[in-house]
Amino acid sequence: MFVTQLKSFFWVARLGSITQAARQLQLSQPTVTTQIRALEEHYGVELFHRQGGRLAISDAGLRLLPGVETLLLQTAQLESALRHSGDVSQGQLRIGATAPYYVLDIVKRYQQRFARVEVAMVGGNSRQMVQALVDYQVDLATSSHLEDDPRLLRMELGQDPLALVVHRSHRLARQPQVEARDLVEDTLILRERGSMTRQLTEQMLEAQGLSPRHVMEIASREAIREAVIRDMGISVFARHEASAHPDIVVLPFAGPVPRLPEYLYCLRERRDARLIAGFLAEAVPGGTARP
C-alpha cells in the first residue's frame, strides 16, 4: 500500500494533474486522491497545496520527490527482473506501441515460439512510449522518433509515406493524388503534440508556407478515423495506418513526401533479458539493429 501511495504522489507531482495521473496509473481519480490524502494524514505532512481545485506541490513534496523517484525506479527494475527470470518459456512481456502495423507481425512470430509468454501492449504517442520504456513501465517500445539516448538499443522496422485520408463524399476523393495545399481548405484533424505524424504534417505545410484554416486535435488515431468516417474533417496518416473502410478514401501525395519511420527500442542494459532477447531475435528479419 505504501508504494502504491507513493506512486500516486509521484505521478500527480510529475504530471501536475490528478486526472492525468489516474490515467497513467489506470486508476480512478478518487482512488488517486484517497491515496495521496492517506499518505499526508498518516505522516502529518502536506504534499500539495490545494487552491480552487488546483494542485501545487509543496516544499515538503519537492524535497520528497527525488527519493520517491529513485525508489519507484528501483521497484520497477526489481519487478522487471522477477518477470524475466525463471522458466524461459513463460512470463510477461510488455510492449509500448505507437502503431500496431509493424510490431504485430513480430508479436505473432514471438507467440508462436513462446506460446506461454503473456504479451501485453499499451498505446500512446512516440514520446510517451519512449518515456514508458526508460521508466521501466514497458520492456520494449516502438516510436517514430529517432532517439540518440545512449541507454537505448534501436532497430528500424520500416518506413511509410504520409497519405491523406478523406470521406468518400469529399471533393478530393476522386483525385488520383493530392498536394500539401489541398489540406488548407478543410478542417484538418491532427494528433496531439508529441505525435510524429503531426510533426511531419506541420513541417510539410510550413515548407510551402501553408497554414490550415481550421485544426481539430484528437489524441487517438482510432478516434480520428471515426471522425473522418463521419465527414468531420480530413487527416494525414502513415499509409499503412489508414485501414480500409467503405467510407474512407486514402490518397497519395504528389512528388516527394515525408516518410514516417518506425523504430523498436529497448534499454541497452536489458537487451539480454530472456524475453526481450527473444523478441529482438524475431524482429531482426525485418529490421536493422543499431547497437
Q: Give the CATH number for residue 144.
A: 3.40.190.10
Same domain, 153 and 196: no
What are the pLDDT digits (tens) for 188-226? 999 888 788 999 999 999 999 999 989 999 988 889 999
Comparing 75 with 168, the larger pLDDT belongs to 168
282 and 143 housed in the same domain = yes
Under DSSP, is residue 264 helix (H, G, I), strand (E, B) or coil? strand
Are 35 and 126 in a shared domain? Answer: no
Q: Give the model's pLDDT for residue 32.
A: 87
| Overall number of domains in the chain | 3
Instruction: Give 222 or 78, the one with higher predicted confidence.
Output: 222
- Tell whether the torsion through CA atoms of 198, 199, 204 and 206 is positive or negative: positive
Instruction: Give the mean model confidence (pLDDT) for residues 155-169.
Output: 93
Residue with cell 465527414: 231
pLDDT at 252: 95
Whether 252 and 272 map to the same domain: the answer is no
Note whether residue 77 is domain-resident. no
Given its phi and psi angles, is residue 194 left (phi above 0), alpha (psi -120 to 50 degrees) or beta?
Answer: left
Residues 153 and 188 in one domain: no
Domain that holds residue 120: 83-157+261-290
pLDDT of residue 83: 65
Confidence of residue 141 (pLDDT cuts 50, 70, 90): very high
Which cell is 243 given?
A: 485501414
Judge if 91 and 133 occupy the same domain.
Answer: yes
Residue at 78 is within a domain: no
**Which residue, 121, 158, 156, 149, is CA-closest to 263?**
156
Q: Is there a domain that residue 172 lies in?
A: yes
- Please report, for residues 31, 189, 228, the alpha-carbon distance to residue 247 in angstroms, rounded to integers and kept in the order given: 41, 17, 8
Q: Is residue 166 in some structural domain?
A: yes
Question: 220 with 230, same domain?
Answer: yes
Q: Residue 285's pLDDT band (boundaries 50, 70, 90)? A: low
The secondary structure of 207-276, three-state, reads: HCCCCCCEEEECCCHHHHHHHHHCCCCEEEEEHHHCCCCCCEEEEEECCCCCEEEEEEEEEHHHCCCHHH
Q: Is residue 67 part of a domain?
A: yes
- Statement to judge: residues 17 and 139 lie in one domain: no
Checking if the pLDDT of 117 tops 80, the result is yes
pLDDT value for 288: 47
Same domain, yes or no: 164 and 248: yes
> Could you count the other beta carbons within 10 Å of the beta carbon of residue 56?
11
